[in-house]
């Protein structure tokens, strides 16, 4: 069965950095586009970033562009999100989610359980 397991969340000071990981299993990871989606406490969902199956294409929400970097290691079936210059407004549960095969289409058919990132002094 498809499983996505995030890790790496925690408490970080404003301006700090954090690297999230997402371990995938139960499907051919290298075939799929993958996304990070976040949810601030008590708020709605916000798409953050996606990466193509071969890492050729990436895209970012304006709110994180220039501060966050998405990457993947298909040999390790893993997705990453490097988050720099963190701000209080980045506080959220971060989910990794599987998207399409041919393209990123916002068809997020599997989600991880999420990892909480708290940015506070």
Contact 20, 80 (CB under 8 A): yes
> Minimum distance from CB of 120 to another protein (Å)?
21
Farthest-apart Cα atoms in the chain, separation: 42
Q: How far is the CB of 105 from another protein (least distance, A)?
A: 5
User: In this structure, what token pair is assigned to residue 10?
Assistant: 């925690």
Q: Is 49:81 a contact under the CB 8 Å cutoff? A: yes
The nearer residue to another protein, 17 or 105, going by C-beta atoms, is: 105
Residues at the interface with another protein (CB under 8 A):
35, 44-47, 50, 59, 61, 95, 104-114
Residue placing its CB nearer to another protein in the complex, 52 or 72: 52
């Amino acid at each position: 069965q498809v499983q996505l397991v995030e890790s790496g969340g925690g408490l970080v000071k404003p301006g700090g950095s954090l690297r999230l990981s997402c371990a995938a299993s139960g499907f051919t990871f290298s075939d799929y586009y993958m996304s990070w989606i976040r949810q601030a406490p008590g708020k709605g969902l916000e798409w953050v970033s996606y990466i193509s199956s071969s890492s050729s294409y990436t895209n970012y929400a304006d709110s994180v562009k220039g501060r966050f970097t998405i990457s993947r290691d298909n040999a390790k079936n893993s997705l990453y999100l490097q988050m720099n210059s963190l701000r209080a407004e980045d506080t959220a549960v971060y989910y990794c989610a599987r998207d399409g095969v041919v393209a990123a289409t916002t068809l997020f058919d599997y989600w991880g359980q999420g990892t909480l990132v708290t940015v506070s002094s």
